[in-house]
Structure 1
C-alpha cells in the first residue's frame, strides 16, 4: 500500500505550512555554491505541491524568503530573486495544470520591481483555480505581520469604525495577511532544525509540529505524506482532556 493510500482523507489537515530549510547545507555537501541548493529546492517545491494536490490538501504555505534573509550576502540575494522570477515563469503552467491558485504574503514592497510584477501576473493568471491555494511567504516576518495588523486595527479605532472592545481574536486573525485562510494544522520543517524562525507565530498556536532531518532539496511528496500520517496519529486536544476529546 502506498503512503498516499494510507492517509485518512477524512482527517486531512486543511492547511499545511512548511519551512523549507537546508538548501545551503545541501549544496555545501556537494561542493557547490549555495544558489545550487536553491535551484534544486525548486524541484522539491514542485513535487511537494503536486503531492499536496493529490492528497487533497486545500492550503499549503511555503516559507520562501524571510525579512532576515535580506541580510544574506548581496550576490546570494540577487541570485534568489532571479531564481524566483525564473521559477514563477516556468512553473505557472504547472500550477494551472494542477488547479493551484498562487498567493503571496509578506512585505512584498521590498521585492525588486521585476520580481513583484512577475509574481502579480502569476497570481492573477491562477486566481480562478480552486483545488489548492499555494501561498509563498516572501520577505515575510511574523512579528512584522502582527505589528501591521495592530496598526490596521488602531487606525480603525482612530477613525471610529470600531471600538477597542470590538477587538477580539477573530478580528485580529482577520487582520493578518492570512485572514482569508484557515490556520495551519500541521507545520513541517526540514533539515533537523527545531525552530519556528519568526514564521506564522499567531497562526501556529495549535498546529502540530513535524521536524525531519531531510534537507529541503531531497524532500518529496512521500515525505509530505509521512508527515500527514504522523499528524493523523496524534491526539489534538486544544486544552481539553483525552476523555473530553474522545
Structure 2
C-alpha cells in the first residue's frame, strides 16, 4: 500500500494540523479473537507507537489521544489495573524513543486518582520533552470533558476573585482548560463504529470535523489515517460563515 504521506499536497499538510482520536475497540478486538480484553489494550498501545511515528510525515503537528476516561473507572478492577500498568510500561519503554524523535508529550485530565509512580513518570516525560517540536502528543488519562469544564470554571472564578480578570472571554476560559496553549482540534476520529463523542474535548472540538470509522483501534493503521486525512482535506470548513 502506498505511503499515506505521499498522497498529501503541501496545502493539505498545512490544513491537517491537529487530529484528536477516540481510541475505541481494544476490548472488542480481543474478545472477537477469544483473547482477554487486556491483550487488545496492549495491541492498541502498539498502534499508538505506529501512529506517533507516522503523524509528522503526514502533516499532523498535534495529536491528542483519548486513553482513559473518568467513566472508565467503572470497569473491572482487573482491567483498570491492567490499563494503568500498560500506561506505565509505555512511558518507561518509549521515553527514549519519544524524546529522540522530537515528540513533546503532555497529559490532560485529573491526576489525583492515578498511582504515584505513573504520575511521576508522566511529569518526568513532560519535563524531558518540553523543548521538542516535531509532534505535540497529548494523552488524555482520567479525562472527562465535563470534569475539565468544571475544573476550568473554578480556576476562572479564582482568577476573577483575585482581580486578574473582570470581564471573562472565551480565550480567558480556554486558558483555564487542561489544554491551555493547545490549538483546537481540526479533526476528531472515533474508531470501532460507535458514533458518540463520549465527553471528549466538548469545548475544544466545537468546530472540529468528525469521522467515525468501523475499524477497531488495534487494526487502525497509518494507511487508515491517511485515507481519512484525504477526505478531510476536501471538506469546506466555514466556521459559521455562509
Shared fold, TM over 0.5: yes
Q: Does 1:167 align with 2:165?
A: no
What does 1:71-82 align with in structure 2 at a 5 Å threshold? 71-82=74-85
Deviation at 1:121, TM superposition (A): 1.4
Deviation at 1:2, TM superposition (A): 3.7
Q: How far apart in 2 are the matches of 1:226 and 1:150?
A: 38
Q: Of residues 115, 119, 127 in structure 2, which corresponds to 1:116? A: 119
Q: How far apart in 1 are the matches of 2:19 and 2:36?
A: 30
Partner of 1:93: 96
Q: How far apart in 2 are the matches of 1:74 and 1:209?
A: 32
Q: How far apart in 2 are the matches of 1:238 and 1:154?
A: 29
Partner of 2:185: 184
Tell me the secondary structure at the aligned position of residue 110 of structure 1.
Answer: coil
Q: Of residues 87, 105, 108 in structure 1, which corresponds to 2:108? A: 105
Deviation at 1:13, TM superposition (A): 2.2
Return 5+ residue gaps in structure 1 as ranges.
242-246
Deviation at 1:50, TM superposition (A): 1.0
Tell me the secondary structure at the aligned position of residue 83 of structure 2.
Answer: helix
Q: How far apart in 1 are the matches of 2:114 and 2:194?
A: 27
Tell me the secondary structure at the aligned position of residue 105 of structure 2.
Answer: strand
Q: How far apart in 2 are the matches of 1:98 and 1:157?
A: 41
Deviation at 1:147, TM superposition (A): 0.8
Tell me the secondary structure at the aligned position of residue 157 of structure 1.
Answer: helix
Q: How far apart in 2 are the matches of 1:205 and 1:123?
A: 27
What does 1:1-246 align with in structure 2 at a 5 Å threshold? 2-11=3-12, 12-163=15-166, 166-241=167-242
Tell me the secondary structure at the aligned position of residue 95 of structure 1.
Answer: helix
Deviation at 1:168, TM superposition (A): 1.2
Tell me the secondary structure at the aligned position of residue 193 of structure 1.
Answer: coil
| Contact kept in structure 2, 1:185 and 1:204, CA below 8 Å | yes
Deviation at 1:10, TM superposition (A): 2.0
Q: How far apart in 2 are the matches of 1:9 and 1:85?
A: 37
Runs of 4+ deviating beyond 6 Å: none
Deviates more, 1:215-224 or 1:16-25: 215-224
| Contact kept in structure 2, 1:99 and 1:130, CA below 8 Å | yes
Q: How far apart in 2 are the matches of 1:237 and 1:101?
A: 30
| Contact kept in structure 2, 1:50 and 1:221, CA below 8 Å | no
- Aligned pair count reads 239
Tell me the secondary structure at the aligned position of residue 109 of structure 1.
Answer: coil
Q: How far apart in 1 are the matches of 2:229 and 2:100?
A: 24
Q: How far apart in 1 are the matches of 2:117 and 2:102?
A: 25
